[in-house]
Structure 1
Amino acid sequence: MKVVMIPSGFKECLDADEVVAAMTAGAKRYDPFIQTEQVPMIDGGEGFAKAIVKIKKGELIYKKITGPTGKKIISHYGLYVEGDKRTAVIEMAAAAGLKLVPRDARNPLKTTTYGVGELIRDALHLGVDQMIIGCGDSGTSDGGAGMAQALGVRFLNERKEEIHIAGGEDLLRVHSIDLTHLDPRLKDIPIDVACNWNNVLCGENGVAKVFGPQKGATPDQVQSLSAALQHYAGLIQKMTGMDVRCLPGSGASGGLGAGLIAFANATLHPRFDLIMKFIQMEKKIAGADLVITAEGSIDFQTPQGKIPCEVARIAKKYGIPVVAITGTIGQGAELNYAAGIDAYSSIIQKPATLEKAIYKAPQWIEESVECILRQVTIGLKIAHKQIGARKGAS
């Protein structure tokens, strides 16, 4: 039996490399000689820049920037050379990710993407020929206004005074947008963005209502944030002629997708369309007997472009069963059956604190994979017994 393991990272716990290492250890506990193949996946979130740089044999550039809460942090972006082109790989999570926001300070009304703009600006200073930006695992919902401000965009109040965008709530104070000081180099640099294509900026399925609670917003704050982003979209349309409210991917990373379209001349892509250019996953899936995938949480959002269901979508083309393991099983998880996941289970088998679950995650992932393979073997034995009985009866 050949088992291909294609996990995402467990947000704020383990990156994809660490998850796949634990999965492999669990498979080897079951059978030291089992044939396995590892494909740690990236989705534009945590680990995106490091993974691309590793594949392309590039380097990481470290930079002191403004973090999502306004405090200075050390962040990074990737740089690789291919042919005569220098490409910067920017990971928004490394500048404005949820992991960078202390749990007691999680309020998307008060977190900023300013640091993302600082990374883009630094890459421009290096004279890169193109950029790839990964959107995912954000701790912000400022519509990319902070990023835009770092690149020269001025947000003005009714008195034509510039407003510092420290979070999504500040968008309601903006009366007009001044683009005269926007970095002109952005017009000449292709920027491709890997994002969740299903995320939109505004409306009932807008980013504030869908993801605001995950970032610490209360119901009242969700409503305020939703109104702020709606107002912001109207200003963008007035200044640029673009209606970003419901564009695919516009809501990625708390609306950073919209900001990148409006101010950075960027092109948004379904993240797997872009990422698959770097990771050759389909060929490996096609040769598997079983695929095991993983993500920190499985719920109603997973079929909307998350790694487990993207993996399952490809596996179904070849009739290969897919099992998913997860930390949390959330509301609507059963929708994943229709999306191609044949079975899923949590690695957490008994009540545990978050701290303990994070500490124990590698061990529990190992145990979960070992258990899955034992269950698969039981199924195979039953199937063989039934086939033998049918042959004997005939």
Structure 2
Amino acid sequence: MRILLAPDSFKEAASAEAIAQAMARGIMRGDPQAECRLLPLSDGGEGLTHALVHATGGTLHDVETVDAVGHPIIAQFGFLGNKHTSRTAAVELASASGLEQVSPADRDPMAASTFGTGLLIRAAIDAGADRIVLGLGGSATTDGGTGLAHAFGFRFLDAHDSDIPLGGGALVDLARIDDSRVSDSIKNVPIVLACDVTNPLTGPEGAAHVFAPQKGATATQVELLDQGLANLARAIMQYNGRDIEHTPGAGAAGGTGGGMLGLFNATVKPGIELVLNLAHGREACAWADVVITGEGSIDSQTPYGKVPSGIAKLAQSQGKPTIAIGGTVTRDPHTVEALNETGIIATFGIAPGPADLTTLIANTERNVEITCAAIASTLRITAATSPCESA
């Protein structure tokens, strides 16, 4: 039996690559005769760079940059392999400007900026990239991508033509945008934004109201951040006539989607579709008899733009079934029905029994291995006992 192992990361527990390897160990325990192919994936958030580099035989590159609150860190970008016609670099915002990069005590939703991600993209371009795939997800920021743009020379000025500070909190004072220090070559580099959300920039469903509380913002700060993003939208409209405020995906990564669409040569694509295309997911599904995928939580969001549903739909289009595993798995009938419609025929939780969250996270890879061993044994027995056609 040929089994494609195509998981996302299990957030705060293990990377997609580590999960795929644990799956493979389990499959070999349950069915030593099985053939496995590993295809760790991402929907545009954490793990995008490693997923694309792994799938294409590319290379990873370390860069000295800063996190969302300005502390020095080492982050990575990757060059895609497989003889891509363009020199494509993969960058994930979470690598430099992610929430998990900043300790809870240091998180500052008003001052956090994407400046470090800008430095990372600059390093990729300086190394020869002529196309960027930027994963939007997992950010600690609500600055509309202004920190990122600042790293390329954009200036964000107040009514007195003074530079405003980095961070979303300062955008309430933004009066105009100056690009006199930005080269045309930078503005013209194609940037594809891998995004799994469709939120607009502002309003009740916008970046501040939906995502900033997860980054530590109070109710008062949420309102100020939303006002700042609306101010940024007006400034961009004045700068080049682009209307980004209500564009689907503009609210991704604290409004970075909107800032990129407004200031750069950027386009938005669903993250999982982009990754599956670049990682040759269709060919991998064609090879497999069955697909096993997974993510940290199989829940009501899973059927909509997440890795398990994305790979399942692709496998379903070729008549291949998909099984999903997760740290937690919902049994809500409506969600189960939605999962079935994507092509996921069964879901399995990896928790062996009652335990505290710290223990479950620490044992994630072991529990994935045990679960996949059981799945492989079941698949092997089912295949062996399937009734033969009568003569």
Structures share a fold, TM > 0.5?
yes
Matched length: 386
Residue in 2 that maps onto 1:93: 94
Q: Is residue 160 from structure 1 mapped to residue 161 from structure 2 by the alignment? A: yes
Q: Give the unaligned 5+ runs of structure 2.
A: none
Residue in 1 that maps onto 2:290: 290
Q: Note the C-alpha offset of 1:383.
A: 7.7
Q: Tell me, what secondary structure is at the counterpart of 1:62?
A: strand
Residue in 2 that maps onto 1:39: 39
Q: Which amino acid counterpart does residue 105 of structure 2 have in structure 1?
A: D
CA distance in 1, matches of 2:355, 2:147: 37
Q: Note the C-alpha offset of 1:93.
A: 1.9
Per-residue CA deviation, residues 320-349 of structure 1 (Å, 9 max, x unaligned), is 332211124479795253142333233224
Work out whether residues 113 and 147 of structure 2, in 8 Å CA contact, stay in contact via their aligned partners in 1. Answer: yes
* Compared CA separation, residues 72 and 345, structure 1 to 2 (3 A): same
Q: Is residue 102 from structure 1 mapped to residue 103 from structure 2 by the alignment? A: yes
Work out whether residues 273 and 310 of structure 2, in 8 Å CA contact, stay in contact via their aligned partners in 1. Answer: no
Work out whether residues 16 and 51 of structure 2, in 8 Å CA contact, stay in contact via their aligned partners in 1. Answer: no
Per-residue CA deviation, residues 63-101 of structure 1 (Å, 9 max, x unaligned), is 221211211111222246858854333222221122212
Residue in 1 that maps onto 2:150: 149
Residue in 2 that maps onto 1:111: 112
CA distance in 1, matches of 2:84, 2:13: 37
CA distance in 2, matches of 1:83, 1:309: 27
Residue in 2 that maps onto 1:320: 320
Q: Note the C-alpha offset of 1:159.
A: 2.6
Residue in 2 that maps onto 1:195: 195
* Compared CA separation, residues 244 and 63, structure 1 to 2 (3 A): same
TM-score by length of 1: 0.85
Sequence identity percentage = 37
* Compared CA separation, residues 114 and 224, structure 1 to 2 (3 A): same
CA distance in 2, matches of 1:217, 1:354: 25
* Compared CA separation, residues 79 and 25, structure 1 to 2 (3 A): closer
Q: Is residue 186 from structure 1 mapped to residue 189 from structure 2 by the alignment? A: no
* Compared CA separation, residues 43 and 283, structure 1 to 2 (3 A): same
Q: Tell me, what secondary structure is at the counterpart of 1:12?
A: coil
Q: Is residue 65 from structure 1 mapped to residue 65 from structure 2 by the alignment? A: yes
User: Structure 1 residues 355-364 or 56-65, which shifts more?
Assistant: 56-65
Q: Give the unaligned 5+ runs of structure 1.
A: none
Q: Note the C-alpha offset of 1:377.
A: 6.5
- The equivalences for 1:1-394 within 5 A come to 1-79=1-79, 82=83, 85-165=86-166, 167-196=167-196, 198-329=198-329, 334-335=334-335, 337-339=337-339, 340=342, 341-374=344-377
Per-residue CA deviation, residues 111-138 of structure 1 (Å, 9 max, x unaligned), is 2100111122233434543333222332
Work out whether residues 249 and 270 of structure 1, in 8 Å CA contact, stay in contact via their aligned partners in 2. Answer: no
Q: Tell me, what secondary structure is at the counterpart of 2:160?
A: coil
Q: Tell me, what secondary structure is at the counterpart of 2:278?
A: coil
CA distance in 1, matches of 2:63, 2:192: 21
Work out whether residues 99 and 138 of structure 2, in 8 Å CA contact, stay in contact via their aligned partners in 1. Answer: yes
TM-score by length of 2: 0.86
CA distance in 2, matches of 1:83, 1:304: 29
Q: Note the C-alpha offset of 1:362.
A: 0.5
Q: Tell me, what secondary structure is at the counterpart of 2:156?
A: strand
Q: Note the C-alpha offset of 1:268.
A: 2.3
Q: Note the C-alpha offset of 1:143.
A: 1.2
Work out whether residues 9 and 295 of structure 1, in 8 Å CA contact, stay in contact via their aligned partners in 2. Answer: yes
User: Structure 1 residues 108-117 or 57-66, which shifts more?
Assistant: 57-66
Per-residue CA deviation, residues 256-276 of structure 1 (Å, 9 max, x unaligned), is 121212222222222234323
CA distance in 2, matches of 1:306, 1:64: 31
Q: Which amino acid counterpart does residue 370 of structure 2 have in structure 1?
A: E
